[in-house]
Amino acid sequence: MSEPHVAIVGITGAVGQEMIQCLEKRDFPIKKLTLLASAKSAGKIFSFKGKEIPVQELTLDSFDDVDIALFSAGGSISKEFAPVAAKSGAVVIDNSSAFRMDPEVPLIIPEINPEATHSNKGIIANPNCTTTVTLMGLNPLHKEWQVRGIIASSYQAVSGSGAQGIEELKNQISAINEGSSVERKVYPHQIAYNVIPQVDTFLENGYTKEEMKIENEGRKILGNSTLKASVTCVRVPVYRSHSVSVTAQFASEPDVNKARELINAAPGVSVRDEPDSGIFPTPLDTTEQDECLVGRIRKDIVLENALSFWVVGDQVRKGAALNAVQIAELLV
């Protein structure tokens, strides 16, 4: 598969558009690019390497001769069309949660478990964006000291809710500045100048689906079936890039200086940690950037054998589109 025929399903969404940008930026070798979306988007034009490509309606016949299909159109579309694409001979890289916990489907972060890519049976899952950002900072430490459990709080940008989340924040800020009433459609509470400790729906155990993804997906990606994670996911009035505060407990005693060395040596992540000089990662530092950044690395003073750190990453880029394209690169 040296020059594949690639299809993007959900091209009109934020992640779909980021996918086409990543393919071009990374000079991905493509023989043909097919752009797919709903019937109402058919005919829209997107540019790729100087060529204008029209969007086609997604149908059951859309995957003839497609080698790699990048899906970012939601779980229901993935459940309906991903098996069809795989049966047609394509390898599906799916950004939804539809197949992540399927034992037959590899769940991949290329910097962590690339070897699992080639055990696919036609479908590969992209992890949740918060899981990806967290594990990019955690994995170099896990390889050295074996993580047992984490306590984490996320600070998740509104772009995690798609374009409508961004629009709601913008509209609410404008309304407040103009003295108008604030409308809520996407979030249960005002997001402008506020934080909301709910991302996704609540489960019987009191955690949300988003919070449990870090434990469930983390176990699969790290190959650590006993990993425990107590997580609180919070939506914040930031347009793009997620941040996560992590306390990780390990099987053996970690070292702060060694931790910095390990993270800096790992692909796709680097340390920005000089707090005395005001140097630590913020969402703006990673917006539209490929790397995740880690700072505030320190010994935890409550738990034994534990480190606390702060990790930030662009959830549209590394948390979704870039990770999918990197998986495609492993296939070619």
**Residue 285 CB-density burial (10 A; 0-12 exposed, 13-18 middle, 19+ buried):** middle
CA distance 26 to 244: 27
Radius of gyration of the chain from its Cα atoms, rounded to whole angstroms: 20
Is 5 part of the annotated catalytic residue set? no
Provide CB contacts within 8 A for 142, sequence distance 6+. Answer: 222, 224, 248, 250
Could you say which of 22, 129, 233, 292 is catalytic? 129
CA distance 67 to 222: 28
SS3 for 18-64, per residue?
A: HHHHHHHHCCCCCCEEEEEECHHHCCCEEEECCEEEEEEECCCCCCC
Chain centre to alpha carbon of residue 88: 27
Is 242 part of the annotated catalytic residue set? yes
Could you say which of 22, 233, 242, 292 is catalytic? 242
Catalytic residues: 129, 242
